[in-house]
């Protein structure tokens, strides 16, 4: 196996993959997949064994290899790897488009659905076949030849644009540094942030401190830096990334216009009124009107709280901090000072208790207590020395799945936090293939020999991504198209992740996952009580901020007409409706909105709030029966996590909860169950 991308005998050989391996491997696997497609087009009789299994075997190898390339391009990007990725992306996009439009395959799936073999299939396989028939229609299989060609061309161009959009944001983020010679300007910053800035400067051969736009630096500067000019400088630099205010080669403005035009055209080709309608064809929500109604109903409930939050913050900033004109770069700073004044603690103080080894041990203990499975250290080739590898076993020691954990921010690594799958569960001739998952965050790394410490928000992020991972790792479904998160409606995908966040607020859990970085002492109970009292601090403002993004996303993919409107003007109208904190006119949020323009959330960003209703209601079941934790956890595992996409998300939820979801728990958890005083 000279080419590690062609080696499927075990775990990926991430330490051996080089840019020069990409094209030969993809070309070989594409040829294999295309041959499998040709065979599948004419195989007879059409059964699951004769048709679906060999087609899945070949195409899965292709997508697994490409997944390794895409993953590396996101976490250890180099010019050579990016060039190889961009060169091969069109091939994969063309193949995927052709597969989705293949009339012969479509006919074979229809024949399978009408066959005795389908009648003998279990519900999981039937769901996979039904989904495939739906996806052929959504993939343009019923278009005429000209329509198919145009649909494929649109998909190929959209793939390239999305990749460029994401790469531009990464490059613009990595390109900015602010060097500080005067240590006094760093007043208020946590010691670990200052130490990291010193190390960054040393690596560049400079004295002093170098600040960046990576989140482990940017967020602490916005939250803790006493130097208002320093906060403003980083805010401005962050706010204009990947826009016309920087290098033309990194400007995403034109890409946004083109992406929206292509999505509109694609939806029209398939007979949808808008891209939003097309997007919702595979989601829980039935129509854009339903989504907009949900968002605006939540906005009506949240706005009184958000306006109160803003008024209180303005008064505090004026009276206690001497800031008469509260600006966006003051919001996090003033909010933290207000939280300290009101609740008697700071995020910096809390962060000293959440040390990485103790947090991970606490997270793994939560998983074991909920689902009866153990997480253990494991070994595997990795893409960076900081990456750790774990295995998940059931109570008998049987391997259920494995995952990589890549926690720290670095150059060449895409910002944010995410989970993706390296290999999904499926039944093969050799036995059951176990899942393999990547969990990626962008936290600050420990310096000067100390372990990394995490803010409570970062701990929550880690639990969130682990929830996604568990959805993949604990699936009991052996049918690839509906195993793990495959086949799960996008607006329900966040249910397991948001559900896990709740355990970051339980005293016993928090106590067990804290050990002060200097003393080893757990978080004091009185400090936790102050955190708990502050849990819903500014929840109104936080809610309407998410609603702003969700409404903007639905609007630009709905009846938005660029001939009569602009993206910027539309965003301002959305802000007129729901925002209480307005960015400056020069801020370029859309140019950085990778979730929508480079990720899978187009006309789907609302799913965060939609799934929050599900996750809050699911956690309420645990609140209602605290003495039956293991029993409730086993039921959640059996009816939600292990089911994957083998049933609809609503069927999974109602099987667990005994009824359809209610918004009441979300409002209660957010402190918005009653009108603001």
| Interval 279-298: pLDDT, tens | 999 999 999 999 999 999 99
Q: How many other C-beta atoms can be found within 10 angstroms of the C-beta atom of residue 618?
A: 24
Residue for token pair 């343009």: 140
pLDDT at 447: 87
520 token code pair:
């080893």
Average confidence (pLDDT) over 487-511: 96
Q: What are the tens digits of pLDDT across the range 223-269?
A: 999 999 999 999 999 999 999 999 999 999 999 999 999 999 999 99
> Has domain 250-345+538-605 been given CATH number 1.10.1370.10?
yes
pLDDT band at 676 (very low <50, low <70, confident <90, very high): very low
What is d(CA 600, CA 439) in angstroms, rounded to the nearest whole number?
A: 17
Average confidence (pLDDT) over 646-654: 97
What is d(CA 67, CA 188) in angstroms, rounded to the nearest whole number?
A: 42
Residue for token pair 């060169």: 87
pLDDT at 677: 44
What is d(CA 616, CA 583) in angstroms, rounded to the nearest whole number?
A: 30
pLDDT at 675 over 60: no
pLDDT at 429: 87
Q: What are the tens digits of pLDDT across the range 419-474?
A: 999 999 999 988 999 999 999 999 999 988 899 999 999 999 999 999 999 999 99
Evaluate whether 568 touches 590 at the Cβ level (below 8 Å): yes
What is d(CA 478, CA 359) in angstroms, rounded to the nearest whole number?
A: 32
CATH number for region 4-142: 1.20.1050.40
Q: Which residue has the higher pLDDT, 447 or 276?
A: 276
User: What average pLDDT does the chain have?
Assistant: 96
435 token code pair:
């899942």
Q: Which long-range contacts (CB under 8 A, 24 or more apart) does 11-16 make?
A: 11/380, 11/381, 11/402, 11/436, 12/68, 12/380, 12/381, 12/422, 12/436, 13/381, 14/68, 14/72, 14/380, 14/381, 14/382, 14/383, 15/381, 15/382, 15/383, 16/381
Q: What are the tens digits of pLDDT across the range 600-622?
A: 999 999 999 999 999 999 999 99
Same fold, 250-345+538-605 and 356-533: yes
Q: What are the tens digits of pLDDT across the range 140-164?
A: 999 999 999 999 999 999 999 999 9
Q: What are the tens digits of pLDDT across the range 112-124?
A: 999 999 999 999 9
pLDDT at 381 over 90: yes
pLDDT at 674: 62
pLDDT at 292: 97
Q: What are phi and psi of 406, to 5 degrees?
A: -120, 100
Average confidence (pLDDT) over 329-344: 97
Q: What is the DSSP letter of 605?
A: T
pLDDT band at 1 (very low <50, low <70, confident <90, very high): low
Helix (H) or strand (E) holding 428: strand 426-428
Evaluate whether 76 touches 382 at the Cβ level (below 8 Å): no
pLDDT band at 653 (very low <50, low <70, confident <90, very high): very high
DSSP string, 322-351: --SS--HHHHHHHHHHHHHHHHS--HHHHH
pLDDT at 673: 77
pLDDT at 22: 98
Average confidence (pLDDT) over 191-209: 95
Q: Which fold has domain 356-533?
A: 1.10.1370
Please report, for the chain, the start and end positions of each structural domain, with discontinuous segments joined by +: 4-142, 177-241, 250-345+538-605, 356-533
353 token code pair:
């208790």
**Which residue numbers are catalytic?**
465
338 token code pair:
């207000």
Average confidence (pLDDT) over 89-95: 96
Over its C-alpha atoms, the chain yields an Rg (Å, rounded) of 25
């Amino acid at each position: 196996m000279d080419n590690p991308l062609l080696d499927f005998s075990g775990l990926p050989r991430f330490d051996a993959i080089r840019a020069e391996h990409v094209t030969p491997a993809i070309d070989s696997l594409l040829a294999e997949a295309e041959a499998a497609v040709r065979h599948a087009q004419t195989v007879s009789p059409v059964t699951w064994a004769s048709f679906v299994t060999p087609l899945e075997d070949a195409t899965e190898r292709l997508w697994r290899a490409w997944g390794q390339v895409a993953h590396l391009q996101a976490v250890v990007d180099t010019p050579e790897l990016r060039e190889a990725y961009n060169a091969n992306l069109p091939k994969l996009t063309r193949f995927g488009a052709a597969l989705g439009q293949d009339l012969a395959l479509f006919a074979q799936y229809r024949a399978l659905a009408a066959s005795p073999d389908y009648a003998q299939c279990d519900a999981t396989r039937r769901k996979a076949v039904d989904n495939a028939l739906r996806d052929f229609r959504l993939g343009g299989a019923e278009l005429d030849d000209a329509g198919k060609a145009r649909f494929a061309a649109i998909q190929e161009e959209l793939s390239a644009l999305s990749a460029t959009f994401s790469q531009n944001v990464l490059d613009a983020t990595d390109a900015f540094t602010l060097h500080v010679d005067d240590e006094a300007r760093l007043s208020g910053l946590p010691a670990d942030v200052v130490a990291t800035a010193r190390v960054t400067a040393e690596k560049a051969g400079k004295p002093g401190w170098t600040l960046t736009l990576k989140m482990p630096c940017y967020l602490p500067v916005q939250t803790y830096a006493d130097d208002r000019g320093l906060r403003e400088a980083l805010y401005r630099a962050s706010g204009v990334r990947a826009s016309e205010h920087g290098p033309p080669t990194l400007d995403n403005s034109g890409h946004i216009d083109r992406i929206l035009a292509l999505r509109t055209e694609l939806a029209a080709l398939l007979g949808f009124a808008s891209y939003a309608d097309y997007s919702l064809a595979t989601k829980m929500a039935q129509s854009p009107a339903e989504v907009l109604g949900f968002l605006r109903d939540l906005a009506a409930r949240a706005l009184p709280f958000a306006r109160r939050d803003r008024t209180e913050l303005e008064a505090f900033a004026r009276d206690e901090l001497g800031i008469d004109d509260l600006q966006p770069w003051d919001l996090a700073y003033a909010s933290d000072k207000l939280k300290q004044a009101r609740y008697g603690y700071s995020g910096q103080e809390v962060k000293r208790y959440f040390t990485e080894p103790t947090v991970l041990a606490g997270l793994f203990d939560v998983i074991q207590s909920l689902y009866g499975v153990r997480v253990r250290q494991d070994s595997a080739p990795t893409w960076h020395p900081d990456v750790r590898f774990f295995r998940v076993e059931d109570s008998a020691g049987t391997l259920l799945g494995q995952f990589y954990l890549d926690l720290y921010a670095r150059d060449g690594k895409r910002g944010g936090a995410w989970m993706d799958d390296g290999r999904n569960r499926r039944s093969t001739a050799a036995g059951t293939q176990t899942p393999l998952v990547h969990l990626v965050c962008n936290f600050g790394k420990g310096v000067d020999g100390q372990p990394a410490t995490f803010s409570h928000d970062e701990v929550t992020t880690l639990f969130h991504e682990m929830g996604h991972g568990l959805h993949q790792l604990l699936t009991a479904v052996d049918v690839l198209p509906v195993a793990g998160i495959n086949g799960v409606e996008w607006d329900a995908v966040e249910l397991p992740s948001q559900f896990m966040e709740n355990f970051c607020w339980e005293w016993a859990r928090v106590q067990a996952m804290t050990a002060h970085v200097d003393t080893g002492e757990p978080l004091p109970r009185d400090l936790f009580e102050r955190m708990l009292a502050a849990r819903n601090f500014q929840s109104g403002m936080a809610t309407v901020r998410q609603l702003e993004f969700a409404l903007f996303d639905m609007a630009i993919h709905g009846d938005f007409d660029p001939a009569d409107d602009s993206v910027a003007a539309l965003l301002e109208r959305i802000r007129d409706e729901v925002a209480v904190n307005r960015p400056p006119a020069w801020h370029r949020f859309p140019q950085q909105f990778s979730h929508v323009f480079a990720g899978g959330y187009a006309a789907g960003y609302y799913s965060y709030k939609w799934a929050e209703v599900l996750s809050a209601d699911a956690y309420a079941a645990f609140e209602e029966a605290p003495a039956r934790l293991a029993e409730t956890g086993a039921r959640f595992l059996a009816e939600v996590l292990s089911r994957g996409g083998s049933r609809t998300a609503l069927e999974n939820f109602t099987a667990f909860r005994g009824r359809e979801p209610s918004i009441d728990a979300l409002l209660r958890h957010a402190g918005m169950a009653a009108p603001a005083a």
